[in-house]
Amino acid sequence: MKIAVTSEGSTLEAAVDPRFGRCKYFIVVDTDTGAFEAVDNVQNLNAAQGAGIQSAETVVNQGAEAVLTGHCGPKAFRTLSTGEVKIYVGVEGTVREAVEAFKAGKLQASENADVEGHW
């Protein structure tokens, strides 16, 4: 399956970006093959509003079934849930570590947004 990790850089060694809507990149990883692709999110970095919603649309359009990030606001959460994407918040470390933790089943999907807006 494909998962998207919010990232501060374009490689697997980059740190997980704690922000969902305004993260610098999404690293979209295929957990079966280990192949990955960095998707630039700059356009949303400066969005006046709705960054979380548009980031969520990007993730869904990339075909990801899960998102690993630091925090996720309610609007992004609703959009991701509608797009049948599972959300994992509170994720830290490098992108590679996050993906390993996910594959090892150490992460738990959230039921709700963990912050109020603007992430």
Partner 1 sequence: MKIAIASGKGGTGKTTVATCLAQVLAETGLRVRYLDCDVEEPNGHLFLHPEIYESKPVTVPVPEVDREKCVGCGLCAKICQYAAIACVKKKVVTFPELCHGCGGCARVCPAGAIREVGRGIGVAETGRSCKIDFAQGCLRVGEAMSPSLIRQVRDIPTGAELDIIDAPPGTSCPAITAIRGADFVLLVTEPTPFGLNDLALALDMVRELDIPRAVVVNRHEDENLSARKFCSERHVQIAAEIPDDRRVAEAYSQGLLPVIALPEYRPYFLDLWANVNKLATGTPGKEPA
Q: Which residues bind partner 1 (CB under 8 A)?
A: 47, 49-51, 53-54, 56-57, 60-61, 75, 78-80, 82-84
Q: How far is the CB of 54 from partner 1 (least distance, A)?
A: 5
Bridge partners, 88 (sequence order): 68
Q: How far is the CB of 41 from partner 1 (least distance, A)?
A: 14
Q: How far is the CB of 68 from partner 1 (least distance, A)?
A: 18
List Cβ neighbours of 106 (8 Å cut-off, separation of 6 or more).
Answer: none
Please count the CA atoms within 13 angstroms of the CA of 30 that sit on its side-chain side: 6
- Choose between 69 and 79: whose C-beta lies nearer to partner 1: 79
- Choose between 41 and 94: whose C-beta lies nearer to partner 1: 41
Cα distances (angstroms) measured from residue 30 to each of 23, 112, 116:
20, 25, 30
Secondary structure class of 98 (helix, strand, coil)? helix
- Choose between 7 and 55: whose C-beta lies nearer to partner 1: 55
Q: For residues 44 and 82, what is the distance between their CA atoms, to the nearest angstrom? A: 20
Q: How far is the CB of 75 from partner 1 (least distance, A)?
A: 6
